[in-house]
Structure 1
């Protein structure tokens, strides 16, 4: 009987567990993929949209940063006028006919006054209560509007005779500076915030933190609105910041260290800081003075001829938040 040839088959992989004490786990059941082709396509489309938006935002910010140009200016004195050396100037404005209105501070000496530009003579004066410290002043609709230090209360005066017409409360933490473009009020409270205030309700309609090259500009003081910009004295410096009211960005600096320096060299050692900006829109004249200064100056602003040194503005014009406590 012929031997039949057996076909050898490849042995199957055994599931035999040599260690009977350990059971071999069953393989998990295969799961269906949750994402269909349509789902994957939708996700990719969303990611593409997000990428495009991010690219546009980065491009926009880069373009804005490229577009932002900061001017650096110095001043030339055109005229000098007498100024009451006892006036602790907190607000200053020009109303035409060589007439200034001024708000002064110091408890017991605070006032609103009408002043003749050429002589410095006080023509009318309304004294504040001894418990109040006068601050910023502006003119809107033939009414003088004044704020007070460490208070949220302000006063409204008749332009002709300085009689008090009423009081108001505002949303600023404190009263420092006031200005107007004829529609809204701009206010400062000594911080880095520029307020826009409704002149009817005196409620803040917007707030902008003022920045210069990524630095907050603290201690914004007396304000003036000039040709679409808000100019602000920065307390304890000889600098005026030119601020865009749209976004709070500093678009320029005016450096005035020589004014105070020359007064001190002339023997006026009792003077305080630069404070007070007034604008004659009709004749395009700029006036500045300071607290307890014996002079008021008409100045002309012009670009600096030399390149400004890196860090110079930060050193001259930026200060830490002032603490009165």
Structure 2
């Protein structure tokens, strides 16, 4: 008993001293930014310092974001990163023969404000008033559309003669699926569903179902587009996910940001020349997103189009954007709109 009474305090003391001798990095150091801010603009320089809580002798400090080492001149850190949004600034600190890593959560926003655009109408075409449009895409000068389950109607995908509105081919989804965005790549049509966490892959020629896929970390299925190599998927959050078209796995994502905030309203998508054109959910506007960085480089005021369509009780918001490379124009419509508009986008 005396043996135990003697050694237990000794062991506790040794453990205490061991813990004191090997503190966690955050107990030693803390990253501090000028103004105590956590919102920074890309391409800016910001004063950075390390709060050395225990007075350690620091030999070297390096900073990085997403694995890219940032340039440090004096006490100024130069921000130059590829993808914007919510990030972790990491500091690797070498001190007294040891190395510590600490992080600080920050937001990296665009260095420039979005430019403002408007539109001009080139043509108007008939559109199915009962189509609750969720996805729109041109392929070989033919228009493809997907819809959600508006009213009692089923969701479907269809091929359309856009000049006449004639349906050339259609496939209905099972009633338990609410159809969302589509994109076409390598003669396959990819389609999302809203909250079922499942997407479908069809043979383009006859809409034969080839495969289905489950979502990964993305929350829901909203819009789809592709750049010829990767598929982009919006999910109602600030993220646009990049999917491998062969495995349909989410390999990475961008976040949509302006010079003032992180934005989370991207809906239907269309990719053109390095930019993603996205309907803004529940708004008469679209945004132009840099597909590499996520910066919203432009905002298109689409007001006025809804006033040109037939008024009825099921009339809903602007949704659906497709680019036709043959005419170098965009085609837009809305949920239960009786018109499809061919437009050109121009700076205001």
1:180 CA displacement: 0.1
> TM-score of the superposition, structure 2-length normalised?
0.68
Q: For 2:163 and 2:240, locate their aligned partners in 1 and report how far apart those are by CA, in whole Å.
A: 32
Q: Which residue of 1 aligns with 2:155?
A: 110
Residue in structure 2 matched with residue 186 of structure 1 by the alignment: 232
Measure the CA separation in 1 of the matches of 2:123 and 2:169: 24
Cα gap change, 1:249/1:297 in structure 2, threshold over 3 Å: closer, same or farther? same
- Map Cα deviations across residues 74-123 of structure 1 (whole Å, 9 max, x no partner): 011000000000000000001123x2110011175100101111011111
Equivalent residues of 2:171, 2:207 under 8 A apart: yes
In structure 2, C-alpha distance between the alignment counterparts of 1:47 and 1:186, rounded to whole Å: 37
Q: Which residue of 2 aligns with 1:287?
A: 331
Q: State the Cα distance separating 1:54 from its structure 2 match.
A: 4.0
Describe how 1:67-146 pairs up with structure 2 within 5 A: 68=112, 70-97=114-141, 99-106=142-149, 108-146=153-191
Q: CA deviation at 1:70?
A: 2.3
1:164-313 paired onto structure 2 within 5 Å: 164-171=209-216, 172-263=218-309, 267-268=311-312, 270-304=314-348
Matched with 2:40 is none
Select which of 191, 199, 204 maps to 1:154. Answer: 199
The 3 A distance-change label for structure 1 pair 279 and 44 is: same
Q: How many angstroms apart in 1 are the aligned matches of 2:145 and 2:185? A: 15
Gaps of 5+ in 1: 1-42, 305-325
- Range with bigger deviation, 282-291 or 43-52: 43-52
User: What SS is found at the alignment partner of 2:314?
Assistant: coil
- Give, in whole Å, the separation in 2 of the partners of 1:48 and 1:91: 46
1:56 to partner: Cα distance = 4.3
Q: TM-score, normalised by structure 1?
A: 0.73
Give the C-alpha shift of residue 47 in structure 1. Answer: 8.3
Q: Within 2, Cα distance between the matches of 1:122 and 1:248?
A: 36
**C-alpha deviation, 1:51, in angstroms:** 6.3
- How far does residue 218 in structure 1 lie from its aligned partner after superposition? 1.8
Q: Please state how far the C-alpha of 1:209 moved relative to its aligned partner.
A: 1.8
Using the alignment, how far apart are the partners of 2:285 and 2:316 within structure 1? Answer: 14
1:67 deviates by 6.1
Q: Distance in 2 between matches of 1:197 and 1:53?
A: 41
Contact 2:111 2:259 (C-alpha < 8 Å) held by counterparts: no
Identify, as 1 or 2, the structure richer in strand. Answer: 2
Unpaired runs of at least 5, structure 2: 1-56, 64-70, 82-107
Larger radius of gyration: 1
- Partner Cα separation in structure 2 for residue 132 and residue 126 of structure 1: 13
How far did 1:164 drift?
1.3
